[in-house]
Amino acid sequence: MGERILEVRNLCTSFFTHEGEVKAVNDVSFHIDEQEIVAFVGESGCGKTVTQLSLLQIVPAPPGKITGGEVFFKGRDLLQHKPNSPEMRSVRGAGIAMIFQEPMTSLNPVFTVGHQLTDIIMLHRKVGHKEAWEMGIEALRSVEIPEPEVRMRNYPFELSGGMRQRVMIAMAVYCNPDIIIADEPTTALDVTTQAQVLELLVSLVKQHRKSLIIVTHNLGVVTRYVDRIYVMYAGRIIESGSTEEIMTKPRHPYTIGLLNSVPKIEKERSEKLIPIKGAPPWLIDMDPRCTFLPRCSYACEVCETKEFPKLRRLGESDHFIACHRDIAGSITGSTTGRLDSAGRHDLGGEAHG
């Protein structure tokens, strides 16, 4: 791993709605090094997208507002700059490029793919139109789009979802950024193209020696590519660590639940998926205590009384959790913690390996 390229500290982003302040990102800290691949995982609505949008200061405002924190990108705090300042704009695309969750709507319907691609390449590569067009064709070729010369003159609606997401990947890579953020890049695609698009993205990132933040709610698909994992719940990071640690020794009850609810191809069919009971909390007027409390099968007295637990390091490792309890010894199986008939984890069981 290389130098630390991005360091986010205590990032807070809220949406000020009629019902109140929605704390979408709540005191989130994380970092990414050069050429590192990290994953953000969590249920829908936990703040994964808003976290990434905050880095680029493109949270829809109003109602969104970054209410605190620091985003050090190559040593400079990006939040010191106004959202539409030239400094901020020069980071967008050229420093940090983002691929969005919604391939069908992320490209402008009334301009050709080539037009949109060249506009952005011209801006960041400082080249003329002709050169940018050639680079655009090259970019489409690099993402394995057949007949790139023809596709350049196509409008987005003439392309399939998978093709559009490839265009977005081409756009991101050809801005030559330090970090690429891929926000659930394959969620909207059908299963067969998901794997291809993901494989392509990772190979391009590796080839160009970029860092990659990949947002997902299905850890199963991405684990083999990622170095570290951040688990988000209700606007906060509640567990983080190396992929190895998280996948084999998850220590937060939510992570355990999440891993159990994810289909794993390698596993036997017979193994049942166990969805986490209950729903994520309302992000307005949040309980000052642990937000996972109502859904947690390990909850005890401490959890009922104390405030939300701060992230703490487990021993000497890079493994952090935000949990009052230490359920290390109480997990049955690596990622397969099972519920007994009463719906509670069998605390007496021992790990088998």
Partner 1 sequence: MSGNMAVYILKRILIAILIVFLVSVFAKALMHMLPGDPVRLAMGFEAKEEDVEAFRVRMNLDKPIHMQYILWVKGLFKGDMGWSVLYDRPNRDIFAERLPRSIAIGLPAVIISSVFAIIFGIICAVNRGKWSDQIITFLMTLGLGTPVFWLGIFGIYIFAIRLRVLPIQGFTSPFVNFGEYVRKAILPVACMSIPMIAGVARQTRTNMLDAINQDYVRTARAYGISERKIQMKYALKNALIPVVTIIGLQLRIVIGGSVLIENVFNIPGIGSLLVTAINNRDYFVVQNAVLLISIFTVSVNLLVDILYGFIDPKIRLERKGG
If the CB atoms of residues 120 and 290 are measured against partner 1, the closer one turns out to be 120
Closer residue to partner 1 in complex, CB, 91/234: 91
Three-state SS for 158?
helix
List the one residue from 60, 315, 343, 353 that touches ligand ATP (CB under 6 A). Answer: 60
List, in order, residues 6 or more apart from 352 with CB less than 8 Å away.
332, 333
Which residues does residue 32 pair with via DSSP β-bridges, in sequence order?
Answer: 6
Q: Is 106 an interacting residue with respect to partner 1 (CB under 8 A)?
A: yes
The site partner of 112 among Mg ion, partner 1, ligand ATP, none (C-beta below 5 to 8 Å per kind) is partner 1
Place of tokens 């289909």: 263
- Which of 49-57, 74-82, 248-256, 339-347 is the region at the interface with Mg ion (rule: CB under 5 A)? 49-57
| Binding segment toward ligand ATP, per CB under 6 A, in 38-46, 89-97, 109-117, 289-297 | 38-46
Convert 117-151 to b/e letters by CB count within 10 Å (16 or more is b). bbbbbbbbbeeeeeebbebbbebbebbebeebeeb
Minimum gap (Å) between residue 52 Cβ and partner 1: 10
98 binds partner 1 (CB under 8 A): yes
- CB closer to Mg ion out of 47 and 257: 47
Per-residue binding string, ligand ATP, 201-220, x by CB under 6 A, is ----------------x---
Output the residue with the shortest Cβ distance to Mg ion.
49
Structure tokens that stand for 22 in this block: 């929605």
Phi then psi for residue 110, to 5 deg, are: -105, 10
Residue 345 binds: one of ligand ATP, Mg ion, partner 1, none (C-beta under 5 to 8 A by kind):
none
What lies within 8 Å, CB to CB, of 241 at 6+ separation is 228, 229, 317, 318, 319, 320
Q: Give the chain's radius of gyration (CA, Å).
A: 21
- For residue 255, which amino acid is it? T
The correct pick among 48, 124, 264, 324 for binding partner 1 (CB under 8 A) is 124
Q: Is 123 in the site for partner 1 (CB under 8 A)?
A: yes
Burial 67-91 (b: 16+ CB within 10 A, else e): eebebbbeeeebbebeeeeeebeeb
Angle between helices 129-142 and 113-125 (to 10 degrees): 110
Name the residue among 273, 323, 266, 270 with its Cα closest to residue 298: 323
62 binds ligand ATP (CB under 6 A): no
Sign of the C-alpha dihedral, residues 195, 198, 203, 204?
positive
105 binds partner 1 (CB under 8 A): yes
Asked if 47 touches ligand ATP (CB under 6 A), the answer is yes
Q: Between residues 60 and 275, which has the closer beta carbon with respect to ligand ATP?
A: 60
DSSP-derived letter for residue 308 is P
Q: Which of 4, 9, 33, 45 binds ligand ATP (CB under 6 A)?
A: 45
Q: Does 22 bind ligand ATP (CB under 6 A)?
A: yes
Strand order across the beta sheet in which 236-242 lies? 96-99, 179-183, 211-216, 37-41, 228-233, 236-242, 320-321, 312-313
- Which of these segments, 60-68, 91-99, 286-294, 310-318, binds ligand ATP (CB under 6 A)? 60-68
Q: Contact between 49 and Mg ion (CB under 5 A)?
A: yes
Name the residues that contact ligand ATP, by CB under 6 A. 15, 17, 22, 24, 42, 44-50, 60, 63-64, 101, 217, 283
Name the residues that contact Mg ion, by CB under 5 A. 49
Name the residues that contact partner 1, by CB under 8 A. 56, 58, 60, 84, 89-94, 97-98, 100, 102, 105-112, 119-120, 123-124, 155, 157-158, 168, 171, 175
